Amino acid sequence: MPNLLNQHLAAVDLGSNSFRMLIGRAQDSAAGVQVYAIDSLREPVRLAAGLDDKKYLSEAAQQIALQTLQRFGERLRQFHPDRVRAVATNTVRVAKNAPQFLQRAQAALGFPIEVIAGREEARLVYIGAAHSVSVVQGKRLVVDIGGGSTEFIIGQGYEPGMMESLYIGCVSMSQRFFPGNQVDETTMRAAEIAARKEIQIIAADFKRNGWNHAVGSSGTARALADMIGGSGFNPPDQPGDITLQGLRELRRTFVRAGNLNKLRMEGLKPDRVPVAAGGLAIMLGVFEELGIQSMEVTDAALRLGVLYDLLGREQSQDMREVTALQFTQRYGADAQQAQRVTELALRLYAQLRPNATEADHRLLRWAGQLHEIGLSISHSAYHKHSAYIAANADMPGFSRGEQAALAQLVLTHTGKLKKLSATDLENIDLDAVLALRLAVILARNRTAVDIDGLHLRYQPAGVKLSGLRPPLDIVAPEPWLKSNPLTEYSLRQEAAEWARLNWNVALQSPS
């Protein structure tokens, strides 16, 4: 849909717990189409709580929903209908008075609202999640716990495969087992059993299909991850994710509290209290029945999937590559210089670490592409601005850990190395840091660079060494150094900078 490129698009999700809206802009590039978030709104409507025993949606619940949609409608007032897609999920699917409610809801929003089936919801959830998490080899399992249903999807790349939707949600589960936000061992156990009973229906087929990486999407997963991470319940090597150990610790915390209204903990927001116990019980059931130990979390899912579906996009590219290219364009970076530095860094890195992994090369490549994006803010301390963007911007496809590693490499590509702490020195790839710093020095003239006569040479293996790393020689022909006095000076300054970190790096000419 070329006419939608560079236009503002909107997705509205009438969920069973919250109503959400995402406004994004689709940008084209040589690497593909990327949707960037421009604005978002979320209101905790808890529509599922308005269903009575006969599955009729109460007038009070409808009024809350209609007022929310009126506010969303104001934000969308200038949008063409072709650029807005609104979808309603489980509660509206099962409500017997849904037709009457939808007529009023569409009038309030000002746009048509689609009631999507559970499988269609699962498909869109997967597309959104796949465009917002780290790329993995093989299959990915996505689990989305909503207010009235939970979606399970196994897919590969951006293509969903096996999809199921079960009628267990954080709102309905909380209402059934935890009235008044009261939690004890008996009710928590009963809720877990109820969740596992439903999940058992699909567990065998899903485990037979298999997956390589598990992802939890949307609000419940994010809230659980925030509570677990904020309380330090995860193993030290898995910050920011949901782990089975973390879920069990959170369960003990909830039971000890007795009433969640009294519980104060990081990540437990007031509007999440009424649905937190139900969401936890379901996630515990998911982990136990499917044998999951750890799960990555993404905030994006259905809404982002709706936007990509609106674009009609059907391609399977690494979103991190798309994002890196989009960032160079968005921040007006010199693409030729970025390519020049990247190619030089990769050539030098190959000399330093010939056995480096593809993941190591990718990280260095992205750092080379993005090292100057901070110039869009200021030339002064631009590397700090570049690193801040890399660490804090929404970068679809990148995990939090990848962004942190990328930001650190970008931060250290120039300037003093004293910014590296003792912990940094243990964890960062110093060969990549050196390769990128040398590439920036060599490409300072911003023209093509011939480094055929320059190579990097480590101290021969087997020699007794001291210091941070084995001594390293930067070997360059004497005539080349004489014809490039600024580069020679900069290389000697670079060697001196590493010496402050107790790494003997020397500039040499072949004898």
Q: What is the CATH number that goes with domain 322-508?
A: 1.10.3210.10
Instruction: Classify each residue of 139-167 as buried b or exposed e, where b means 16 or more C-beta atoms within 10 Å of its C-beta.
Output: bbbbbbbbbbbbbbbbbbebebebbbbbe
| CA 409 to centroid of chain Cα atoms | 19
Phi and psi angles of residue 147, each rounded to the nearest 5 degrees, phi first: -75, -35
The whole-number pLDDT of residue 2 equals: 43
Q: Which of 395, 254, 272, 267 is nearest to 326 (CA)?
A: 395
In whole angstroms, how far apart are CA 168 and each of 13, 18, 52, 179, 315? 18, 16, 16, 16, 32
* pTM for the full predicted model: 0.64
CA distance 106 to 416: 58
Instruction: Classify each residue of 404-426 as buried b or exposed e, where b means 16 or more C-beta atoms within 10 Å of its C-beta.
Output: bbbbbbbbbbbeebeebeeeebe
Fold adopted by 2-116: Nucleotidyltransferase; domain 5 (3.30.420)
Return the domain boundaries, the chain.
2-116, 133-299, 322-508
What type of residue sits at position 505?
A: V
CATH 3.40.50.300 fits 133-299, yes or no: no
Which residue is it, tokens 């941070």?
Answer: 468
Tokens of 449: 């660079």
Average pLDDT of adjacent 10-residue blocks, the chain of 511 residues: 72 94 83 82 92 94 97 94 90 92 95 85 90 84 93 91 92 94 96 97 96 92 93 78 94 95 90 94 98 90 88 56 88 93 95 91 96 93 94 75 88 90 79 95 88 80 56 89 91 92 87 64
CA distance 325 to 55: 49
CA distance 210 to 500: 50
Is there a contact between 151 and 163 (Cβ–Cβ < 8 Å)?
Answer: yes
Q: Where are the alpha helices (DSSP H) in 20-136?
A: 59-75, 90-94, 98-109, 118-130
Tokens of 123: 């498909």
What type of residue sits at position 189?
A: R
The whole-number pLDDT of residue 316 equals: 42
Q: Do domains 2-116 and 133-299 have the same CATH topology?
A: yes
The whole-number pLDDT of residue 285 equals: 98
